[in-house]
């Protein structure tokens, strides 16, 4: 079947928002770059489809902080990164800010939320923290 090229000015078939940057591509510049990164990361087709639905619904926004993500500048703290919701489990992946992904590290989402809440309570209410137990914490000595 012949590939259907889009006309100049048509919307992106990935995000549904931006006009395409090329008549040869069905995607805008941002989505084209994002799609290539998903393929380079070797994400499963199911995960890629879930990320496409997320981008179509929310655009490029961090799943944890709701901050707008930078798709191109890897030096930006809000650079788009892929985060495994459960560390090491490739079946559930979300997009998030680089600094959030670095903070979350080897934690699940619930462990991350619990840790952030405890820090908030320590800093603003003076409530002492409890020692956290992280289920997926793997550090080499």
This prediction has a pTM of 0.81
* DSSP per-residue string spanning 61-75: B-TTT-PBPBSS-TT
Residue 101, token pair as written in the block: 């992904």
Q: How far is CA 124 from CA 34, 88, 103, in A?
A: 38, 33, 20
The pair of structure tokens assigned to 120 is: 């908030």
Tokens 């670095």 identify what position?
102
The pLDDT tens digits of the residues spanning 48-63 come to 999 999 999 999 999 9
- pLDDT for 9 beyond 60: no
Residue 4 banded pLDDT, cuts 50, 70, 90: low
Q: In the chain, what is the greatest distance between 2 CA atoms, to the nearest angstrom?
A: 65
22, pLDDT greater than 80: no
Length reported for the chain: 141
Q: What are phi and psi of 36, to 5 degrees?
A: -65, -40
pLDDT reported for residue 51: 95
In angstroms, the CA 80 to CA 6 distance is: 27
Output the pLDDT for position 3.
Answer: 53
pLDDT digit string, tens, across residues 72-116: 999 999 999 999 999 888 999 999 999 999 998 888 999 999 999
């Amino acid at each position: 079947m012949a590939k259907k090229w889009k006309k100049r000015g048509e919307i992106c078939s990935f995000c549904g928002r931006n006009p395409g940057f090329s008549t040869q591509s069905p995607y805008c510049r941002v989505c084209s770059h994002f799609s290539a990164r998903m393929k380079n990361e070797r994400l499963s087709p199911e995960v890629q489809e879930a990320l496409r639905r997320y981008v179509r619904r929310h655009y490029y926004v961090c799943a944890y902080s709701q901050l707008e993500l930078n798709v191109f500048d890897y030096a930006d703290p809000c650079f788009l990164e892929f985060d495994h919701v459960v560390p090491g489990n490739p079946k559930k992946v979300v997009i998030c800010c680089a600094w959030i992904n670095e903070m979350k590290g080897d934690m699940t989402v619930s462990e991350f939320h619990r840790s952030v809440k405890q820090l908030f309570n320590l800093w603003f209410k003076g409530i002492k923290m409890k020692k956290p137990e992280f289920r997926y914490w793997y550090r080499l000595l």
